[in-house]
Amino acid sequence: MAKKILIVGGVAGGASAAARLRRLDESAHIIIFERGDYISFANCGLPYHIGGTIESRDDLLLQTPESFKQRFNVEVRTENEVVGIDRNNKQVEVIDLGSGDKYTEKYDKLVLSPGAEPTKPSIAGIESDRIFTLRNVPDTDRINGFIDSHQPKRAVVIGGGYIGLEMAENLRDRGMLVAVVEMLDQVLPLMDKEMANLLHGQLHRHNIALWLDDAVADFQQSDDRLTVGLKSGMQLSCDFAILAIGVRPEVRLAKEAGLEIGPCGGIKVSPNLQTSDPDIYAVGDAIEVQDFILGKPVLIPLAGPANKQGRMVADNICGRNRRYTGTQGTAILKVFDLTAAMTGASEKALARTNLKYEKLYLHPANHVGYYPGAKQMHIKLLFTKPQGKILGVQIVGSDGVDRRIDIFAVAIRAGLTVFDLQELELAYAPPYGSGKDAVNMAGFAASNVLDGTVDVAQWDQIGDNDYVLDVRTADEFNRANVPSSVNIPVDELRGRLNELPQDTTVNVYCGVGIRSYIACRILTQNGFEARNISGGFITYCSYENKELSDTQTARQLREEFCLI
């Protein structure tokens, strides 16, 4: 007898499950219920349609109910909302939003893919029709409609995460002045602060005003203006605001059905993606998954995992034993002409564990310097001591970031160590990389630390009384340096060893950490105790947040919005 499978919600998880189910079982009766008008759309592309990069709205619509029916013989009921689950009788209650009629539908297996909804806290004035969230195509239409009809000049984005920064960039592309308000002291909260700091100057350079370490207190609307009041007392005047302070899993349906909810607030599922009811599966942004690195339950609302989970659920319904082994949070973000990417655990997360880890910073070019157009990347590598297991990687740069983060992501998933990174044979030609790729270099540097070739120090470990040696050229030193550091260029070091103290550790830095590594090898072989300060002067600047100093540009950007 043919199985009847009901799927609640389309887009990434639900639509993927339906398509895979049909490919595996031609006889199954499959119905998707979608309360909206669209069964499958490119939600990650929505900000870029608002910005005009994706010109045609139709390009966002990946499947229609008609095309899904024709190709996969799956019945799609849009504007039909599942409002209840009767687990005893294995049926759902549905409201046809067009007619208002209620009906029930039986199931053999049920798949929940309700997704996540934008967080909307209780703030005075938040119901203003000049405040928008972005989740789906109708949200996009409302934002575009407002822009087209009102021709706004200023916008405030609340939240500096993925959606917040994407919206800030795309509103700038539409010609508006944009401010970003973030309650933490950095953008991209999932990234470690010193790496996110590299983006602050980029945002300023593209005329994005930043209010960090501040939060919204209230909204006030006049006829044609919106005032965003901040807890610091500042008041920002704009035409409209985008609320992008995160999402929360939609679990109402599961909770009311008595399904188990996990400690993070998402639907709890087994490795087979079954809920606490073995006939009900759940996928996507609504579920808790296991952190691939730390083994703890987490919420990671990303499209890639949702698609994979949908496919896996279909396999399991059809008798294939597939297990979801966790999510490592691989993500990438365009910030104008820079790219920020990460995979695995952040140092913030590792600091809350008992793991013994080390970190390194590297600043290699995306390809060989003699080929025109080489661009610098900034890499943070986290790994265990002494095993060298790769725990996490963060990269900020322009060209080449996407390729490297994917290599690191595969290395983490495959259980490789930093020692293995040395041996990876990666494609090389001058326009694309180097004979010793940035990934190999990360392996070389980490292996040198673990095997004792060089001792390493971090800028946040350097005290005011520590001896710090700058081995850059005199010209570099005179342009900018670390206070109280002593300058001896690496090429003069062997002849000036008598100038260094023998009774204390010499902490060495250069521009990026390569010349200082050479200097440390010279010093240790001449009887000195030396440490290479990872990442050199560039990392020092990111630790000190030099890009976010109170520059004239930053002040002018803020003045465009300030009432007080």
Q: Which residues are catalytic?
A: 44
The phi and psi torsions of 197 (rounded to 5 degrees) equal -60, -30
Give the whole-angstrom CA distance, residue 538 versus residue 553: 22
Task: Yes or no: say if 251 and 81 are a contact pair by the CB < 8 Å rule.
Answer: no
* CA proximity to 118, closest of 241, 306, 247: 247
Give the whole-angstrom CA distance, residue 352 versus residue 195: 19
Report residue 466 as tokens: 């520590």
Report residue 1 as tokens: 């007898």
Q: What is the 3-state secondary structure (H, E, C) of 170-225?
A: HHHHCCCEEEEEECCCCCCCCCCHHHHHHHHHHHHHCCEEEEECCCEEEEEECCCC
Give the whole-angstrom CA distance, residue 383 versus residue 534: 14
Pairing, β 131-132 against β 216-221: unpaired
Handedness of CA 409, 413, 419, 424 (dihedral sign): negative
Task: Yes or no: say if 77 and 33 are a contact pair by the CB < 8 Å rule.
Answer: yes
Give the whole-angstrom CA distance, residue 41 versus residue 32: 15
* CA proximity to 251, closest of 240, 243, 262: 262
Amino acid (one-letter) located at 181: V
Cβ burial of 473 (10 Å; 0-12, 13-18, 19+) is middle
Task: Yes or no: say if 512 and 535 are a contact pair by the CB < 8 Å rule.
Answer: yes
Give the whole-angstrom CA distance, residue 556 versus residue 552: 6
Pairing, β 216-221 against β 226-230: antiparallel
DSSP category for residue 62: E
Give the whole-angstrom CA distance, residue 242 versus residue 351: 33
Q: Identify any residues that bridge with 178 across adjacent strands, giving them in sequence order.
A: 155, 208
